[in-house]
């Protein structure tokens, strides 16, 4: 206002792009948003770059490649894991709670299961999760080697469950579609030739029960925990 208009103005580079510089942090943030909003398939180097208003090549100064970005996403998701204090009296129930919590986190980041499968969990939070599962297993007197392999089996089962769900979710079926599909499936099983498929026909109803996934998952963790309990000492 009070600046005389004919005074020469040095326009302090107004066109300069004051964009925040790129960083691993910002890249993971952007990738995580894409993952949550649009699933794993949407997390491409190009789309992440676009979300950050830059080109795909720019990401490679901060992230080695797509695989490393996947690992960073798994680490980020692992931060949401929660574990109660280990309680030796109820180690079996605690093991189940840990697995339920793990599935919950993976469900809240659809697609992270695909990135997690086959990864050795070495992030800080992943290590804490391993430590916690070991503590629970040892409280239950599970032998060392069995406990060690169990902390491999447990994430494998939970991740596989979450991955399977995410694959099926990618087909974009509605609740109705699923109900109809399950019904048709039951009829298909029932209609099979009984001489050749006696058990499949007889158990058609049981085979198609628990479509939502929760009951099947509960069954799975019950089998695993009971199996581990059978190996416990004393």
Partner DNA sequence: ACCTGAACACCGTTCAAGT
By CB under 8 A, name the binding residues for a second copy. 117-118, 120, 122, 127-128, 130-131, 134-135, 138, 144-153, 156-157, 159-161, 163-164, 167-168, 185, 188, 192, 196-200, 203, 206-207, 209-210, 215-216, 219-220, 222-231
Residue 224 Cβ vs a second copy, minimum distance, rounded to whole Å: 6
Do residues 200 and 192 lie in contact, with contact meaning Cβ atoms separated by under 8 Å? yes
Phi and psi at 6, nearest 5°, equal -95, 0
Q: Is the dihedral of CA 17, 18, 21, 25 positive or negative?
A: negative
Q: Closer to a second copy at the Cβ: 58 or 210?
A: 210
Per CB under 7 A, 38 contacts DNA? no
Do residues 75 and 122 lie in contact, with contact meaning Cβ atoms separated by under 8 Å? no
Residue 95 Cβ vs a second copy, minimum distance, rounded to whole Å: 12
Distance of alpha carbon 211 from alpha carbon 21, whole angstroms: 47
Element (H, E) at 155: helix 144-169
Q: Closer to DNA at the Cβ: 46 or 169?
A: 46
Residue 88 Cβ vs DNA, minimum distance, rounded to whole Å: 46
Residue 52 Cβ vs DNA, minimum distance, rounded to whole Å: 8
The span from the first CA to the last CA of the chain, in angstroms, equals 87
Distance of alpha carbon 119 from alpha carbon 149, whole angstroms: 15
Distance of alpha carbon 212 from alpha carbon 184, whole angstroms: 16
Per CB under 7 A, 47 contacts DNA? yes
Per CB under 7 A, 51 contacts DNA? no
Q: Closer to a second copy at the Cβ: 30 or 103?
A: 103
Residue 3 Cβ vs DNA, minimum distance, rounded to whole Å: 28
Distance of alpha carbon 99 from alpha carbon 93, whole angstroms: 10
Provide the binding-site residues for DNA, judged by CB under 7 A: 17, 19, 21-22, 42-47, 54-58, 60-62, 65-67
């Amino acid at each position: 206002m009070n600046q005389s208009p004919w005074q020469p103005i040095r326009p302090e580079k107004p066109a300069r792009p004051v964009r925040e510089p790129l960083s691993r942090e910002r890249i993971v943030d952007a990738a995580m948003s894409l993952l949550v909003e649009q699933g794993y398939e949407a997390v491409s180097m190009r789309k992440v770059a676009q979300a950050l208003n830059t080109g795909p090549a720019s990401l490679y100064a901060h992230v080695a490649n797509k695989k490393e970005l996947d690992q960073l996403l798994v680490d980020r998701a692992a931060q949401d894991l929660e574990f109660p204090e280990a309680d030796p009296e109820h180690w079996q129930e605690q093991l189940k709670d840990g697995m339920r919590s793990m599935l919950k986190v993976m469900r809240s980041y659809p697609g992270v299961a695909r990135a997690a499968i086959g990864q050795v969990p070495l992030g800080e939070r992943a290590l804490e999760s391993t430590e916690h599962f070991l503590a629970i297993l040892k409280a239950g007197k599970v032998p060392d080697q069995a406990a060690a392999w169990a902390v491999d089996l447990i994430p494998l089962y939970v991740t596989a469950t979450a991955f399977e769900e995410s694959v099926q979710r990618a087909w974009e079926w509605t609740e109705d579609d699923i109900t109809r599909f399950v019904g048709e499936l039951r009829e298909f099983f029932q209609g099979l030739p009984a001489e050749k498929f006696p058990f499949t026909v007889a158990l058609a109803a049981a085979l198609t029960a628990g479509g939502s996934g929760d009951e099947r998952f509960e069954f799975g963790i019950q089998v695993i925990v009971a199996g581990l309990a059978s190996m416990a000492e004393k």
